[in-house]
Structures are given as C-alpha cells and as structure tokens.
Structure 1
Amino acid sequence: MHSYQRIAYVSLTALAVALSGCNGYVKKADFDSAIGQIKADQQKQQQEIDGLTQQMQQKFAQYDAKIAEMNGRIRVDTVSHFAFNDSTLRDQDKPLLDDFAKIMSKNYPQAVVTVEGFTDSAGGAGYNMKLGHKRADAVRDYLVSAGMSADQLHTVSYGKASNRQVLKGKTGDDGEPNRRVSLVVDFAGAQSQAAPTQTPAQPDQPAQPAVPNQGSQMPAAPQG
C-alpha cells in the first residue's frame, strides 16, 4: 500500500471522528463529500508524480541514471559518484544535475527534495557518516547554484550502511558504485503552468555552506 494511501485512510478516520464529535453521528452527505475530496487529492498527487517521472525519464535518457517511482516519491539514483575518500563533485556529473535543477526550478518550484550521501565500507562508521554528508552537501550546493531554492533541498547521510550499498563490502576501484549521491523527490507539488523564460536571481537564498574539510582530522586508516 502506498504511503499516500495510508495517509488518506488515516485522514478519513480522523475526519469521521471530528464530524461525529459533536452530534454523535456523521451525516452521509458530509462523509461522502470528505471521501470525494480525499480521492481527488490522491489522484492529483499521483498525476503530479507521474508527470514529473515522465519528464525525468525523457530528459535523463542520455545519462546512466536510474529513475524509479516508489510510495508516492521519485528516486533518481546514482546521479554522482566520488573518488575514494573524497567529496569533490566531478565535472562529468554536472550536466545531469543541471537538467534536474532546470526541471525542478521551472516546473516544480514547490517540490521537496532529499539529497542522500553514501560511502563505501572502508573506514570507521563515524567518519563515513561525515563524508556522506559532505558529498550530499556538495550536490546540494551545486543544485542551488544551478537555480534551485535552498529551501527545497535537504541533505542526509547513510555513510557506510550495509543495507544501502550497491555492491556490499566493495571498496577502492570496485567500490565506486557505493560512493554516490542519490536524489529523492519526496513531494512534487503542483506543476507550474506558466514557467518564466528566465529564472530570476535569488540573492536572499544563498547556498548553505558545506561541512569544513576534515582533512586535518583524517584517521590513519583509509576511509570510503
């Protein structure tokens, strides 16, 4: 069952309780109206997700990016990869991020996006959690520079979590698929009907600073 469907059922139950709180019963007309509104909202949300998924699939066909719809959200996986123990965004990954920012800022300005950072399994869990954040921050900052609002973007690190690795236990050259950043569109929002020809600058929404370089505190053991 999709998450938005569960939310709809919970909302419907809460509404029924609210409607019956004062009079001890729910009028059928009010109940039917509530059901109709919830179904309409659910259908609208699914249409927005479907539309965004289609746009991304068409736009990203030239890239090696995996796009999947899941539980009312859209995942764009492996948009960026990183060198061993490094959080520098590679030039070859920037065109896809440019296209993603263009789609979201012009057509889905209300969207909420989570930027997920990952590492391979080398090194300690604490250090890799920080490294995953630095990678996510690097992608977030680039998306802001490409036109997205900083308020739309949230970062999270999964570090070396084994259940999130593409190739479990792989490090070094073989572990590059694990050293990545993925994007998850948690909420698409209504599509803009009349996108402006040019996106105005937004000096009041600067990019959040990335985590300072931890190089001076790097442990002797190699990290992911």
Structure 2
Amino acid sequence: MASGTSRNALLAVSLLTVALGGCSNYIKRDEFDSTIADLRATDQRLQSQIDALSQKHDALVTRLAGRTRVETGAHFATNDATLGEQDKPLLDDFARVIRESHADAIVTVEGFADPSGSAAYNKRLGQRRAEAVRDYLVGSGLNAAQVRAVSYGEDRNRQVRDGAVGEAGRDNRRVALVIDYAGAPRTAAM
C-alpha cells in the first residue's frame, strides 16, 4: 500500500512538472523582461533629460500622477504676454528633447497671472502667455497638434506667492510645461 501511495505521489509530481514545463513556453519570460527593461530605460532617459534641463536652466521639475511638470523660468512683466529672450534657451532645449526623443508627446502649456487685474482679464492674460510659449515651441519644431495652451489666470490655489503683485508677484506671472503623455520614445539607430 505504501508503494502504491508513493507511486501515485511520484506520478502526480511528474505530471505537475510536465504541466508547469509546458506553461513556461507561452509565458515568454525573456520577452517580458526585455519589455520591462526597455520601459525602465526609457523612463530613465526621459528623467535624465528633464534633470539636465532642470540643472541647466534652474527649472523646478516634479512628477504628478504619471505627468511630468516643468516650472520654467519663463516669467512675464505685469500686464504683458511677451516672451523674454532670457526664457528662449530653456524652451529651445525643451523642444529639442521632445522633438528628438518623444515626438508623440502631448504637452500642455499652463499660463498664470498675479491678481493685479480682474479675474476675467487675468484669465485672458494667462491664456495669451500660454499661447506665446506654445507658439514659440511650435516655431521650434514641435507639432501644433501636440502642444496645448490653457490658462489658470490668478486662481488662488495655483499662485506661488498668494496675493502678491508687482515685483513680489513675479513668480505668479509665469508658464509651466506639463508633459501629459510622453509618447513612444525614439531610439537611436544602430
């Protein structure tokens, strides 16, 4: 009886080994590992490019729920939506990175204002600031369909310096670049 139980156990273990061996053939662990490695490499490449932009131009970069946000150094004078020459090098580098490595990326340019005018006026002013930066990025080679412009105007929950105007409110008169979708990365030809 003991040898019959031992045979049954040996037969069960043998069948389980054959069944599990067959399963490993269609899981394709190597392809899975390769895909994960590619995704991690892409994420690291994008992060290093953003970090380089941050270091080069003193931009603040944060990640929020799968989105990347770049608080640029692009600031505007009171009641003005003219993009300054000092802001263009960062935008040129940003456009180059997106164009060369993430051609399918979706970017939102967010415009802001300090509370020195009416809320309606500041919403329009923030939109004009966002559009000025969007137009510059498109002029730098990004596809117009992939760059959106929105305004938050003087929304209190979006102000850097709550209620500040004039020189103190400079940080409120800004744009931010948000990468909503990085797209499929381009890889260098071998």
Larger radius of gyration: 2
Deviation by residue 1:28-74 (Cα, 9 ceiling, x = unmatched): x9xxx8xxxxxx98987665444312112123312120011221111
Deviation by residue 1:102-147 (Cα, 9 ceiling, x = unmatched): 0001110010000000000111111111000000000000001111
Partner of residue 94, structure 1 = 88
CA contact (8 A) 1:117 1:158 kept: yes
Superposed counterparts of 1:64-213, under 5 Å: 64-194=58-188
The percentage of aligned residue pairs carrying the same residue is 47
Return the TM-score normalized by structure 1.
0.66
More helix by share: 2
Return the TM-score normalized by structure 2.
0.77
Partner of residue 16, structure 2 = none
Structure 1 runs not aligned, ≥5 long: 1-28, 34-39, 196-224
Name the CA distance, whole Å, in 2 between partners of 1:102 and 1:181. Answer: 18
Residue 61 (structure 1) aligned with residue 58 (structure 2): no
Structure 2 runs not aligned, ≥5 long: 1-22, 28-33
CA contact (8 A) 1:79 1:97 kept: no
Name the CA distance, whole Å, in 1 between partners of 2:142 and 2:88. Answer: 14
| Pairwise CA RMSD | 2.5
Q: Matched residue pairs, number?
A: 162
SS of the aligned residue for 1:53 comes to: helix
- Counterpart amino acid of 2:151? S
Name the CA distance, whole Å, in 1 between partners of 2:40 and 2:79. Answer: 39
CA contact (8 A) 1:106 1:192 kept: yes
SS of the aligned residue for 1:138 comes to: helix
60-69 vs 122-131, which deviates more? 60-69
- Counterpart amino acid of 1:65? A
SS of the aligned residue for 1:191 comes to: coil
